[in-house]
Amino acid sequence: MRKRELTPLASSRWAGSITKATHDQWALARRGQSAHIHNLEAGIRTIEDRLSQPVGQKGTKKAPGGYRSRREWHAKSRRLRVLQDRLAAARADHEAGLVHVVRGGKHLARTRHHLEAAQLTEGAWRRCWEAERWFLAADGESGKRYGNETIRVSPDGEASIKLPAPLTYLSNAPHGRYVLACRVTFAHRGTEWADRIAANRALAYRIHYDAGRDRWYLTASWQLPLTPTLPIEAALAHGVIGVDMNADHLAAWRLDVHGNPTGSPHRFFYDLTGTAPHRDAQVRHALTRLLHWARTCGVKAIAVENLDFTAEKTREKHGHKRRFRQLISGMPTGRLRARLASMADQTGIAVIAVDPAYTSKWGAQHWQKHLTTKNRKTTRHDAAAVAIGRRAQGHPIRRRTAPPPAHRSDEQGHRTIQAGPGAPGCEGTRPRMPGPRTRSVGAGCGVKVGDQNAQHRSERSAEHGPGNRTHSCSASRNGLQDRAPGKVGCRLVSGA
C-alpha cells in the first residue's frame, strides 16, 4: 500500500527502496522493543523475589537472597513500581505496533544537549545530524545489467543512478540516468565484486555521506549461497581450536584429535571502547587473526561457547556488583558469534557451539596447573579454551588422575593413560621394554617374559574364570599425551 502511494511521486524502483529501508528500520526497532520488555520482566521478577524474602537473608549461588537493610528494601520497592509502569507502557506500544526510531541514534540526539562535553559546535552537530539522512540504497536484481538497475557500477568504476520520473530533467546520460563524476573502486573483495557484475548477478548498493571525513562512500553487498553442513566427524578430523571469549581478548588453544593441547596458547586482543564502528572493527580484526592462525595450523573446526547474557545483564540480579555488570554487558557475545559464523564460512572452517557450563571452573581445576611451565604461564582463560575444545570433541574435561600405588601395575611406576577399548592390541601382552625391570632380573630375561600366566603373580588370568573376572579398559583420555595402540594393556580387576 505504501509503495503504491509513492510510485506516482517517484518510480516503482525508488518506492520499493524507500519502503524497504523504512521497514528494515522498523523491524530493528521492533526487536529492540521486545528485548527491552524481556529485560524489564526479568528485573521485576528478581525484585519481587528478593522483596518476598526476609531482610538480611543470605542467597545462594543460583539465587540472590533478601536485601541487606530496610533502607535498600524500601528503595527497591519504589523501583519496582517504576519498572512496572515502564513495562506497561512498553507493552502498550508493542501491542499497538508503535516503535520509537531516531535516525542517527539516541546517542547523537542526546549529544545536542552536551555540545561542550562532545567538543562540537552547533553547526558541526547539525551537519552530523543531517548526514544520517543523506543516503541512497537500492537492492539488486539478478539478470539485470551489472546486477542493479537503480544504482549501477560498471567494471571500470563508472557509477550512475536511475533518476525518478520528476527528476529526469537533471539526467546527463540517456534513459534518465545521472552519471557521477568520480570513479568507484573496491579495495576489499574487489575480485568477487567484479565476478558478480560480469555474470549480472544481484548486487545491492548504498551511497552515504560521512560528515567526519567529509566524503561520500558507496558500499556494495551481496548474499552468499548457503554452505552445506559439514559432518562433525569430518570437521574434527584434524583437531580443533578451543576459543574462550573474554571482555578484552580471545584465548585460543589448539587440540589434536585426542583432545591433547599442542603448542602454546594464543591470545587475540581487542578494545571495545569508543564508537560502535570502532568496536565492530576491533572484533572483526581479532576474528581475522584467529581464522588466519587456524588456516596455518590446518584445523577445520573452531569451538566456541554458546553464551547468552540476555537475562544476566539486568542490574537487579547482581545488585551492587556494578563492575561485573559492566563486564558482561560489554562482552559482544551475539556480535562475535554472528561475525565468526559469517567469516569462517568464507574460509571453509566449521564453527562448533558448545555448552558453556563450568568450562572456566573445570578448565582451571584440571588443566591450568598442569599446563603451566617455567617458560609459560597458563591463565584461567587458556585452560577454559582447552575445556571448550575437549567438550566439542566429546571428551570429558577432567584429566585422569594416577591410581593409588597398590593398584598400579607391578606396584611401581605409574600408568595414568590407557588405550581406548577399540584400539588394536588393547588386551594383548605387554611388549619387551628396554632397561632393568627389577633390581635382580633385567628386562627381557626368560623364555616366557611376555606370558603373564607364566609369571608369579597373584592375579594372573589363568587363576580365574571369565565368570569371576571382568575386563576394565578406560576409554577416557588423559591430558598431555596418548600412547600408541598396542603399547598399553588393560589390567584385570575383581568383579562384584
- Sheet of 215-221, strands arranged across: 135-138, 204-210, 215-221
* CB 472, CB 415: distance < 8 Å: no
Beta bridge partners of 221: 204
Residue 456, judged by CB atoms within 10 A of its CB (0-12, 13-18, 19+), counts as exposed
Report the C-alpha gap between 390 and 395 in whole angstroms. Answer: 5
Residue 438 has a pLDDT of: 56
Contacts of 484 (CB under 8 A, 6+ apart): none
* CB 386, CB 253: distance < 8 Å: yes
- List the helix and strand counts (H, then E) for the chain: 14, 13
Report the C-alpha gap between 163 and 176 in whole angstroms. Answer: 6
Closest CA to 311 of 41, 63, 81, 50: 41
Residue 293 has a pLDDT of: 94
Q: What is the largest CA-CA distance in the chain?
A: 108
For 118, the enclosing helix (H) or strand (E) is: helix 115-118
Report the C-alpha gap between 388 and 352 in whole angstroms. Answer: 10
Residue 301, judged by CB atoms within 10 A of its CB (0-12, 13-18, 19+), counts as buried
Which residue stretches of 436-479 are H helix?
none
Report the C-alpha gap between 107 and 96 in whole angstroms. Answer: 26
* CB 311, CB 45: distance < 8 Å: no
pLDDT one-digit tens code per residue, 195-205 = 999 999 999 99
DSSP states along 207-252: EEEETTTTEEEEEEE-PPPPPPPPPHHHHTTT-EEEEEE-SSEEEE
Long-range contacts at 470-475 (CB < 8 A, ≥ 24 apart): 470/495, 471/427, 473/418, 473/419, 473/420, 473/421, 473/426, 473/427, 474/400, 474/418, 475/420, 475/421
The fold for domain 234-393 equals Nucleotidyltransferase; domain 5 (3.30.420)
Closest CA to 296 of 263, 270, 261, 269: 263
Angle formed at CA 120 by CA 114 and CA 123, multiple of 5 degrees: 110
Report the C-alpha gap between 168 and 176 in whole angstroms. Answer: 5
- Residues of the chain where predicted confidence (pLDDT) is lower than 50: 309, 414-419, 425-427, 443, 446-496
